Amino acid sequence: MFSAQVEGVHFLGFLFTHLLAYFLTEQTACCYMFVEGNPAPTFKFYKGTQEIIEGGRYKLISDGDNNNMIMMAIAKVKSSDESEYRVYIENEHGSDEANFMLFVSGLYTHHRIGNFAKCNPA
């Protein structure tokens, strides 16, 4: 869904997202999306139907007040992290969601899909 209202410049939606991400075991997986919303949207990440709560190996990050870039980082990924994930955004004008698949491999791989890459969220 992409909501828009031209006169008041109110909108909500994903600007950029990918469907697949590949990581090696023990890496930090950073899955991020670019979103647009006025006012800034709130966001939640899910693994299957379970909401991901920040803490432990999970870190949820945004770029500040406007939340244009939102990210979920998983430290030391393991095979049990391999799953379909969903990110949900919402503001007073509506909501939107995007699904993506995270794959974990114990073997070296050359896959690097768009905005999914090894990272170090400080």
27 falls in which pLDDT band (50, 70, 90)? confident
Q: Does 95 reside within a domain?
A: yes
Q: Does 67 reside within a domain?
A: yes
Query: What's the predicted TM-score (pTM) here?
Result: 0.74
Q: Does 120 reside within a domain?
A: no
Which CATH number is 104's domain given?
2.60.40.10
Q: Does 92 reside within a domain?
A: yes
pLDDT digits (tens, 9 = 90+) for 46-89: 999 999 999 999 999 888 777 688 889 999 989 899 999 999 98
Q: Does 122 reside within a domain?
A: no
Q: Does 121 reside within a domain?
A: no
Domain that holds residue 36: 3-115
Q: Per the structure, how many domains does the chain have?
A: 1
| 3-state SS, one letter per residue, for the chain | CCEEECCCCEEEEEEECCCEEEEECCCCEEEEEEEEECCCCEEEEEECCEECCCECCEEEEECCCCCCEEEEEECCCCHHHCEEEEEEEEECCEEEEEEEEEEEECCCCCCCCCCEEECCCC
So what's the pLDDT on residue 112? 43
